[in-house]
Amino acid sequence: MNLKRIRTMGLVAVAAVALAACGNLKNSSFGSSSTSQTTTTGSKTTTTTGSTDSEFYQGVIKKGRYRTSKSRGVNVSQNDNVMNLKSFETGLLDVSKKVFSTSKYVYQEGQYINTSTVEKWLGRKSKSNPDGLNPKSNGKTGANTRNPIYLQQLEEQDYMIQSGSKLSLGGVTIGLGMNSVDYYTKVEYGATYETDISTTELTAQGKKMANTVLQRLRKKSALKSVPIVLALYKQSSNDSLVGGDMIAYVVSKNGSTTVNNWTALNWKNYVFPATSESKNSGANSNDESDFSSFKSHVQNFFPNLSGVTANAHYQDKSLKKLSVNITTKFYSETEIISFTQYLATAAKRYLPSGIPVEITVKSANGDIQSFLARTAKGSSYYTHVFSDQGDN
């Protein structure tokens, strides 16, 4: 698979979040449906993982096992920037929630497109790979003269409807992850070059490919008439500290085989504080100054604090989620406890309210030391100090 470009990745390790499912499955318990309780090993019943938070879908369990994707693992090999993998998946969930309600639908990993199909589709079109969605090679290797790889990753998500102990397919979401930069080598194991792809071009290419995918899926009998959501994601560059952004989606209903009424999504991820490279032009300056106040108080509070950064997720220019990353050089358990208490106070006072916030405190070597989170509606922070980290 010529797309499997495995390169070293140190760049990403430092910090930063992506679309970041803030993930408060608060007070999880058995799902509301009675069948979610039949999770015994070897059971023939199809059940669900259970979830009481309407922000999350329940997942499908079959014979006591989680039903994994038919193309499991493909996307991992497609992403040099892990942020793109995580934010692609959580972004697809967020888009899906606009169409498939979490209270009505149950989540199932994609069962209709298998690994070899995904690999073929992600490849270039050629004699040996007629199904490739990426353009034929034109034989050129210049950054602006070659045909780039537009489509970097593809994911299927299934949305099931539960009726008694039966689950039936209620809809499918297909995500196309489009490159904003295509990294390539001129010879095997050679130097890496880059072809930049404009948002206009990757969007046009993505919409065309989405129609091709839709036509192929409609040929499968199970997918003949269910709603199919098609979503475009713009991958961030490999040196970005944030993941990419969902840029558009469309719903194909009643078995339609073409779609054109796309809805644009103005979703953006920013890093706080802004750097000279990332001007954060779309971020709200009040949010940035709130974060600055928080950061300066926190950094004053403790010696040996290495870094305080945040990843801010915006939708339509309004802050939707804030993930704060704090790196410490502490050693003492009692210091971490006190610091965490202080953070809960400082976060409540300085950080924007009305949105989900998560704060992770990690040691310089990456072990998590404590974490705090508040839901959009919550006023106080849930906090947890980890003490089981064998961290040297």
Between 65 and 84, how does the x/- string for binding to a copy of itself read (CB under 8 A)? xx-xx--xx-xx-----xx-
Site for a copy of itself in 320-349 (CB under 8 A): 323, 325, 331-335, 337-342, 344-346, 348
Structure tokens at 136: 């034929």
Strands 46-48 and 318-328: unpaired
C-beta of 18 vs 229, nearer to a copy of itself:
18
By CB under 8 A, residue 391 contacts a copy of itself:
yes
**Category of 365 on φ-ψ map: left (φ > 0), alpha (ψ -120 to 50) or beta:** alpha
* DSSP structural state of residue 243: -
Q: Which of 86, 97, 120, 124 binds a copy of itself (CB under 8 A)?
A: 86
d(CA 289, CA 309): 13
Query: What does residue 90 show for φ and ψ, rounded to 5 degrees?
Result: -70, -35
C-beta of 285 vs 332, nearer to a copy of itself:
332
Q: Where does residue 360 rank: exposed (0-12), middle (13-18), buried (19+ CB within 10 A)?
A: middle
C-alpha 49: how far from chain center:
20
What is the SS3 assignment for 123?
coil
By CB under 8 A, residue 269 contacts a copy of itself:
no
C-beta of 259 vs 373, nearer to a copy of itself:
373
CB 105 within 8 A of CB 60: no
Q: Which of 112, 183, 193, 301 binds a copy of itself (CB under 8 A)?
A: 301
CB of 319 to a copy of itself, least distance (A): 16
Q: Determine the length of the chain.
A: 392
CB 228 within 8 A of CB 95: no
Between 151 and 180, how does the x/- string for binding to a copy of itself read (CB under 8 A)? ------x-----------------------
CB of 231 to a copy of itself, least distance (A): 14
C-beta of 43 vs 145, nearer to a copy of itself:
43
CB of 235 to a copy of itself, least distance (A): 15
Q: Which of 3, 30, 114, 185 binds a copy of itself (CB under 8 A)?
A: 30
By CB under 8 A, residue 12 contacts a copy of itself:
yes
d(CA 261, CA 106): 26
